Structure 1
Amino acid sequence: MFFIDTIEVAGLGNRSYLAGGERTAVAVDPPRDIDQVLAAAARRGVRISHVVETHLHNDYVTGGLELARVTGAGYLVPAGARVSYAHVPVHDGDRHEIDAAAGLALRALATPGHTPHHTSYALEQNGLAAAVFTGGSLLIGTVGRPDLVEPRLTERLARAQHASAHRLAAELPDGAAVLPTHGFGSFCSAGQTAGESTTIGRERASNAALTRDVDTFVADLLAGLDDIPAYYTHMGPTNAAGPAPVDLTPPAVADGEEIAARLAAGEWVVDLRNRVAFAEGHVAGSFNFEAEGQLATHLAWLLPWGKPVTLLAASPEQLAAAQRELVRVGIDRPAAAATGAPAHWVRQGEAPASFPRATFAELAARRAPGIVVLDVRRNAERAGGHLAQSVHIPLHDLHRRLHEVPEGQVWVHCAGGMRAAIAASLLDAAGRDVVAVDDSLDSAEQAGLLTGRTR
């Protein structure tokens, strides 16, 4: 018998895995906060004998090096990946025994495409593949994007993705479970993930990489590529150099005077509370990134790399969860932090700032000269329909393009409200008169505001 445990890293849209028998196990693409992997192994009563990477990750800092150090496990890294630390280089066809008693072994399958060195691992029991850890190669209903390494390699890697998918389909049985790392909201995915689980057989029948000829597949894949989060630039080099262990101890506590001083110095003060609470009252100049709203992706995308961050949270638990999520993308230690409510975060004699929220129906009723409608969705979303005469600046560009927002009261929207809240906080901090449209885009269509929408 053997087991496969899934370790969700939901904020980044990724999964890691722990697989093994009664005594030993392998960890696949572990997150940087390795304590949850160690806890999974403890629950199973197994020793982690191997830690494997499918590739050098572009979207998060790996915990593989630290996990291998702590457990004494062999650290398997694709041979083509250039790294600066001791490891076991993995070549195509290599086999590594995981649990002899259970007849478990890993077989390496070179699957370039997401990266040139990408490697998948078939989990075999007594020589038969029961599952395959596909990393950023074959995903559920799609594949990993091929444009994260070097623009000149993108088309070549897209063609390699097609070939790699066909190799997996040819060499593995239909019943083998496909266990990808990316694809559950990750920007490493080239398309929408179709479901929570799949097999080689299901992908053979439905995945475009396996149902379309290579030229059609590549053309469609390249046409559908979306924006790349800015922080991805730093993940590969960090993973190649060898990430340091994490420190999740509570940051130093900041009072109102220190928070004001950090804002005056140009540092970022980030309020993690929900957008309703933030709009009702916040420290002037602070930015709102909801702790439950893909915090790591959005904050790391907008934050100038290396800039100090002070975190404001509703509770110590919210602060601790945010710290954990942020170390996964290399935001290692907050400069300071505070918990509670804005009345405790402002200097004595000062009051919290606020701005209004509204719906699309209210926008339709108020639409008049002097009102600026700002759409902060990504380019691909905008192409599927937009509000007439709206200004478009994607959220990830807004901080450096605030000067392009026309004069007047700014009603800012996205597709559901969360990104509009981030944008509204940026505008509010810049002294603009802003209204956050906290509503679904379906309501804009019902209010007669939407034009050119395609479903």
Structure 2
Amino acid sequence: MLLKQFFIEKIAHSSYLIGGTTACAIVDPSRDIDCYLKAAEAEGLNITHILETHLHADFVSGHLDLAEQTGATIYAPAAGHCSFAHMPLSDNDTFRIEDMEFRVLETPGHTPDCLVYVVTDTSRGDTPVAAFTGDTLFVGDVGRPDLFPGKARELAGELYDSLHTKVMNLPPECMVFPAHGAGSLCGKAMDAMRFSTIGYEISYNPALLITDREEFIRSLTVDMPPAPDHFSRCSDINRRGPALVRSLAPLRAMKPAEFYERMMNADTIVVSIRNYATFGGQHIPGSYHIDMGGNFSTFAGWVLPPDREILLVTDSPEQAREAAVQLRRVGLDRTIGYLKGGTHAWVSAGYTTDHIHQLSPSEVYEKIQDSDTVLLDVRSSDEYQERHIPGAVNILAMDLRTRADELDPERPTIAMCRTGHRSSLACSILKQQGFSDVYNAAGGLTGYIAAGFLSKKE
């Protein structure tokens, strides 16, 4: 039995190749399918099976692209009611790939359609050797059950039952291969290790150590991290079947005049992906800023309207192409072009730019001594509660789209996050909503603490 793991940073997504001597399966594929095609070719394997553990909420799957390229059969949960051609799977269904037997466990909880694939390598023994647990069981955590409005308690209870009556009954030596790791918002507090064993998780996973069902439900329905907007879209995209990547419009390099003409369309937005210092120095008025150095895919899926065409401002054509790939991961397929020559070409052609002053930690400290200045902490409430500057107002950066009216647009406003990435996004949203005296805290709270402006008690 051959096993390979593929990991995408930022969205912290793990997918897998599991194969024998001539055939293999891909588990929970991303939309970037070239890595699977190359890996299978290098091992002399044919991709014959595509296995989905559930209808993923945080990314758009590559199952249709991979099936078209390879002719492989897609296996997916029957409870998912998928619209594309597939083999629907229910509890205790089995199938084989050479000497490997796959047994299906229905494990609703994170979503109603979750599956676990339990693999036995019959050439070596008759007990399960691996479990592809999707978003049911992570290393150090379990899947969040609060992605379906009004069903969090019901799903949390189902997750408890799925874990305690099925998953935890697997042999302790059975290896656990989840679909996500630390950094994903599909759980509450995943560990950085990318695989584990059933026995280790039973002994040390905090969620599995909660034996009382009601307490388990409470732990997964209170103080959960916010869910990005695209979580409510991607599941349905995956159920219907995403557009094939080859069918999407190619990315165009646009000279300033063409770029300007396209950005004037009501159904078009401009997104700068340059670093926050460069964006602050000069950017196209009204543009979003999502720094490629931050969690680009997640933030883009969270705040960008999915029904708009996207124009990019980048540092290079290569960066534009990489951004288009990352946007496709979260279902933003309408990236049509980028500004050829960047903002230098833009201003050289006589077009207007805007600016956001980047404040050093000492400048932040000096400016907030003025009682008229608003310090806006745009981190999550958990981060804020852990440590913050006294007097700071806490509104999550992404929530400023609907909560900016809680602030006074006439007052100087400094946005601060942990490092400066989310706060720059916040500044761009505030600018769109009529705030003119806006500043970004470069280096964020990290720099502010390093400069000695926040005591350990605060």
TM-score (norm 1): 0.92
- Using the alignment, how far apart are the partners of 2:415 and 2:195 within structure 1? 37
The residue that corresponds to 1:104 in the other structure is 100
2:207 to 196, 209, 228: 209
Q: Residues 204-353 of structure 1 correspond to what in structure 2 (within 5 A)?
A: 204-213=202-211, 214-247=213-246, 250-266=250-266, 267-346=268-347, 348-350=349-351, 352-353=353-354
- Using the alignment, how far apart are the partners of 1:130 and 1:336 within structure 2? 47
- Using the alignment, how far apart are the partners of 1:209 and 1:81 within structure 2? 26
**Residue 113 in 1 paired to residue 113 in 2?**
no
1:397 to 391, 396, 399: 399
* Contact 2:182/2:192 (8 A) holds in 1: no
The residue that corresponds to 1:5 in the other structure is 4
- Using the alignment, how far apart are the partners of 1:268 and 1:323 within structure 2? 14
* Contact 2:374/2:414 (8 A) holds in 1: yes
- Using the alignment, how far apart are the partners of 1:434 and 1:250 within structure 2? 36
The residue that corresponds to 2:436 in the other structure is 432
* The 10-residue stretch of structure 1 (350-359 or 204-213) with the greater mean CA deviation from structure 2: 350-359
- Using the alignment, how far apart are the partners of 2:447 and 2:133 within structure 1? 39
The residue that corresponds to 1:361 in the other structure is 362
1:125 to 103, 121, 128: 121
**Residue 420 in 1 paired to residue 453 in 2?**
no
- Using the alignment, how far apart are the partners of 1:409 and 1:95 within structure 2? 63
The residue that corresponds to 1:140 in the other structure is 139
- Using the alignment, how far apart are the partners of 2:93 and 2:422 within structure 1? 45
- Using the alignment, how far apart are the partners of 1:389 and 1:250 within structure 2? 48
- Using the alignment, how far apart are the partners of 1:398 and 1:238 within structure 2? 26
The residue that corresponds to 1:29 in the other structure is 28
Count of aligned positions: 448
Stretches of structure 1 that go unaligned for 5 or more consecutive residues are none
Q: How far has the Cα of 1:232 moved from its partner?
A: 1.6
Q: Secondary structure at the match of 2:221?
A: helix
Q: How far has the Cα of 1:360 moved from its partner?
A: 3.2
Equivalent AA in structure 2 for residue 166 of structure 1: H
Equivalent AA in structure 1 for residue 294 of structure 2: G
Q: 1:347 to 1:16 in 2, by over 3 A?
A: same
- Using the alignment, how far apart are the partners of 1:393 and 1:419 within structure 2? 12
Deviations 1:116-144 (A, max 9, x none): 22110012101332211000001010001
- Using the alignment, how far apart are the partners of 1:435 and 1:450 within structure 2? 23
- Using the alignment, how far apart are the partners of 2:153 and 2:297 within structure 1? 29
- Using the alignment, how far apart are the partners of 2:203 and 2:93 within structure 1? 29
- Using the alignment, how far apart are the partners of 2:158 and 2:104 within structure 1? 17
* Contact 2:121/2:128 (8 A) holds in 1: yes
Q: 1:296 to 1:137 in 2, by over 3 A?
A: same
- Using the alignment, how far apart are the partners of 1:303 and 1:281 within structure 2? 21
Equivalent AA in structure 2 for residue 288 of structure 1: H
Q: How far has the Cα of 1:97 moved from its partner?
A: 0.9
Q: How far has the Cα of 1:379 moved from its partner?
A: 2.5
Q: How far has the Cα of 1:445 moved from its partner?
A: 4.6
Q: How far has the Cα of 1:113 moved from its partner?
A: 0.8
* Contact 2:259/2:339 (8 A) holds in 1: no
2:190 to 192, 202, 205: 192
Q: How far has the Cα of 1:77 moved from its partner?
A: 0.8
- Using the alignment, how far apart are the partners of 2:286 and 2:319 within structure 1? 21
- Using the alignment, how far apart are the partners of 2:302 and 2:39 within structure 1? 30
* Contact 1:229/1:297 (8 A) holds in 2: yes
**Residue 93 in 1 paired to residue 97 in 2?**
no
- Using the alignment, how far apart are the partners of 1:203 and 1:112 within structure 2? 19
Identity between Structure 1 and Structure 2 (%): 33
The residue that corresponds to 2:163 in the other structure is 165
Equivalent AA in structure 2 for residue 294 of structure 1: N
- Using the alignment, how far apart are the partners of 2:165 and 2:34 within structure 1? 35
Deviations 1:282-332 (A, max 9, x none): 223322212232212111211122112101211121111111111111111
- Using the alignment, how far apart are the partners of 1:296 and 1:49 within structure 2? 30
Equivalent AA in structure 2 for residue 435 of structure 1: Y
* The 10-residue stretch of structure 1 (135-144 or 118-127) with the greater mean CA deviation from structure 2: 118-127
* Contact 2:17/2:24 (8 A) holds in 1: yes
Q: How far has the Cα of 1:340 moved from its partner?
A: 3.6
Q: How far has the Cα of 1:7 moved from its partner?
A: 1.3
Equivalent AA in structure 2 for residue 225 of structure 1: M
- Using the alignment, how far apart are the partners of 1:358 and 1:192 within structure 2? 33
Q: Secondary structure at the match of 1:50?
A: strand
- Using the alignment, how far apart are the partners of 1:104 and 1:366 within structure 2? 65
* The 10-residue stretch of structure 1 (213-222 or 79-88) with the greater mean CA deviation from structure 2: 213-222
- Using the alignment, how far apart are the partners of 1:150 and 1:428 within structure 2? 31
Q: How far has the Cα of 1:181 moved from its partner?
A: 0.5
- Using the alignment, how far apart are the partners of 2:110 and 2:242 within structure 1? 21
Q: Secondary structure at the match of 1:326?
A: helix
Q: Secondary structure at the match of 2:15?
A: strand
* Contact 2:254/2:340 (8 A) holds in 1: no
The residue that corresponds to 2:40 in the other structure is 41
Q: How far has the Cα of 1:250 moved from its partner?
A: 4.2
- Using the alignment, how far apart are the partners of 1:326 and 1:47 within structure 2? 29
* Contact 1:374/1:410 (8 A) holds in 2: yes
* The 10-residue stretch of structure 1 (291-300 or 356-365) with the greater mean CA deviation from structure 2: 356-365
- Using the alignment, how far apart are the partners of 1:94 and 1:419 within structure 2? 45
Equivalent AA in structure 2 for residue 130 of structure 1: V
Q: How far has the Cα of 1:421 moved from its partner?
A: 1.4
* Contact 1:23/1:47 (8 A) holds in 2: yes
Equivalent AA in structure 1 for residue 411 of structure 2: G
Q: How far has the Cα of 1:359 moved from its partner?
A: 3.1
Equivalent AA in structure 2 for residue 188 of structure 1: C
